Amino acid sequence: MGGMGRMRAIAIAASYCVLLAACSSTGHPSAGHSSTGGPAPAASSSSTGDTVQSYLDAVNVLCDGLEQKVTALNGGQFDIPLKDFLAQLRQHTKLEKDFDHRLAAIAVPHAAAGQARALTAYIAFASKLDAARLRAARQGATAYKREIDAEKKTAASDPSIAALGTAGFSQSCTAR
């Protein structure tokens, strides 16, 4: 978890995932429907697995790239000092917007709907953390430190983090 900007971007990415998942039920060929708008022919289990893995691979590559950029920006610190948090907020926001734009371009195949839901749940969780961190930062150093301390105690055990791994996403997706 690398800051408020990342959390805001997670919220945006979650919105995109929800939108993409919704599109999968509206007849878009890239989302598991034929070009005529009807359901695509049933895929074999191996091709379904390949489709899901292709989706996971595309998202994981995106997450890996974001993690590298976030690490370069602040060393991947969870408890970034308030001064640094505020100084890097604009750059984090830019990274997140770019990530969200790229995530939105990844088609969510029908067979990967469960994985997309896991990513959306994590993004919602991270967005709540970002919002709380930003609120605390606006209240000053004491409130910010209190928020960071609370996050250290509870954030790592949130079920949405474990669900990311179970769904097949890379640990780097928590950089979002």
Extents of the domains making up the chain: 4-30+45-175
More confident residue, 1 or 97: 97
pLDDT at 78: 74
Q: Quick check: 93 pLDDT over 90?
A: no
Q: What is the pLDDT of residues 130-151, one digit of tens each?
A: 889 999 999 999 999 999 999 9
Q: What is the pLDDT of residues 24-74, one digit of tens each?
A: 333 333 333 333 444 444 445 567 889 999 999 999 999 999 999 988 887
pLDDT at 51: 95
Q: Which two tokens stand for residue 85?
A: 């948090």
Q: Quick check: 83 pLDDT over 60?
A: yes
Closest CA to 134 of 158, 156, 151: 151
Question: In the block, which residue shows the tokens 């995109």?
Answer: 16
Can you tell me the distance from the alpha carbon of 133 to that of 4, in angstroms, rounded to the nearest whole number? 6
Can you tell me the distance from the alpha carbon of 129 to that of 133, in angstroms, rounded to the nearest whole number? 6
Rounded average pLDDT over 84-104 = 90
pLDDT at 130: 86
Q: Which two tokens stand for residue 173?
A: 């997706």
Other beta carbons within 10 angstroms of residue 3's beta carbon come to 29
Q: What is the mean pLDDT of the chain?
A: 78
pLDDT at 97: 86
State the pTM of this model. 0.71
pLDDT at 75: 65
Query: First-to-last CA distance in the chain?
Result: 7
Does residue 33 sit in helix, strand or coil?
A: strand
| DSSP letters for 140-154 | -HHHHHHHHHHHHHH
